Structure 1
């Protein structure tokens, strides 16, 4: 038990350092630099060096007690900054996944939906033209097929299904619900806990890693926003903040896509096993008829 508690405390300390202390210390260092230099002296390294020399020459700097208190205060400040940004990361994640609940989010959702419908219409028009050209033996049939494939890729870049969320991350995470329903008539929301329980450990680990990557991307975006705030005192912080925010958003999209693909793969591979586990006949792959029976069973109608 002692060894277990020691190992657990070591892992907690490592996690604390990785998530809160080290990023918080870096942020506090940048914030102190921003306040010291300001906008007018943004590149005056001599001013920063003078401030550090003045602090080192202060009488209190040679007191072990004062240094210990300062060290504790700095670590506490770093932890508080990290905890605050971590909470902001949770808010960023909720915003990414939110639905159209207000005038702004409804406008963003409709704007994305209009773009998707336009891209979908262009793709279907190009597909019909390519089909007619191929059937008629037209000389430009291959070019029209390539154009249809290009239109198809552009539409899918906006979304595999028509958008229903103001941000692409929310649509990508919820896309498996609609695609699984369309393919198997299976309510993924009702079936998910049961699929999770029968999934192999390796599959659950992959899904957990993808979900954790989405949360980590939201935290990275939150750190970017915090650095943008520091630009109020020192404008170079805006460069760091912008780069960090963009990186976080891109990682969030990649993590959402990875999680969605894994969720669909889980249904494709384990859907039939779920039906059999529930006592239904399912030979081979999951069919829409069997998926509908699973949905009715898991929904527990009155």
Structure 2
């Protein structure tokens, strides 16, 4: 039974290793080999690439089993190292997406996003007032002005749903649940989160973990895209693949951050009274803000908890 378990575990590990490291790494190494052989001048010369492969296969070393095994092991090792490097770079991308505005560069980016948001918010409020006045006056333009106000609202929300504080949209999106819960209910989500996590059902935790993994995978895809962009210095078709990968990674990152933030806020909304019951805090007939403040004082281990 133990050997069967270890075999199954080894199979899953090998499958994940192939999916996360080896296969993308092998694809990257193959593209790097093509870039070395073709370059910009012969970027689409398939015959040139075939001739190089035929030359290598005809060499005496290619007929030695030991040499073939060593080359295969070297290629697999190179693919694994490349994949590991992409994982490390992807972690850096993930940290950058969620970074606070420290340093002049990130602060400048955050300030620019805030200025854009304020300008979009002003346009939305102006359009909303115009639409409301038209509704009151019974103007024929009321529907058109309402549509303009809705578009202005969407334009503002594409930047951020609240005044942005982070250099990048993903950081703001992930911070929104904590801000909303604090403003609406006085609940410190950072202090409450471990307890809410333990109260959540397995299916809920699985959804949250899946969204978190998608966010990490999106950052890793951007890292691979950056590698292909660098490769584009020698073979320009690789740059096209890099642009597609980075754009897709950013888009998927936005979607994953939205999903994780929405699930986080929903979990807190649904289980805050369960948390109060588990901690022995009176919650029957208590309004949401008073309950949130009680829980925050308790979880922060502040004095005067009631």
Q: TM-score scaled to structure 1, two decimals?
A: 0.96
Deviation for aligned residue 1:284? 7.0
Deviation for aligned residue 1:215? 0.1
What residue in structure 2 maps to residue 84 of structure 1? 85
The aligned runs of 1:73-222 (5 Å cut-off) are: 73-222=74-223
Deviation for aligned residue 1:273? 1.3
CA distance in 2, matches of 1:121, 1:274: 40
Is it true that 1:8 corresponds to 2:9 in the alignment?
yes
Task: Label 1:48 to 1:296 Cα distance change in 2 as closer, same or farther (>3 A).
Answer: same
Gap runs ≥5 in structure 2: none
Matched residue of 2:52: which SS?
A: helix
Aligned residues: 302
8 Å Cα contact 1:272/1:284 also seen in 2: no
CA deviation digits over 1:182-218, x for unaligned, max 9?
A: 2211111111111101011110000000000000001
Deviation for aligned residue 1:285? 8.6
CA distance in 2, matches of 1:252, 1:286: 36
Deviation for aligned residue 1:282? 1.9
What residue in structure 1 maps to residue 244 of structure 2? 243
Is it true that 1:26 corresponds to 2:23 in the alignment?
no
CA distance in 1, matches of 2:209, 2:118: 33
Deviation for aligned residue 1:249? 0.8
CA distance in 1, matches of 2:227, 2:287: 48
CA distance in 1, matches of 2:187, 2:72: 56
Q: TM-score scaled to structure 2, two decimals?
A: 0.95
CA distance in 2, matches of 1:165, 1:289: 30
Gap runs ≥5 in structure 1: none
Matched residue of 2:164: which SS?
A: coil
Deviation for aligned residue 1:177? 1.0
CA deviation digits over 1:105-157, x for unaligned, max 9?
A: 10110110011111112222222333333334334333333322222222112
Taking only aligned residues, the RMSD between alpha carbons, in angstroms, comes to 1.4
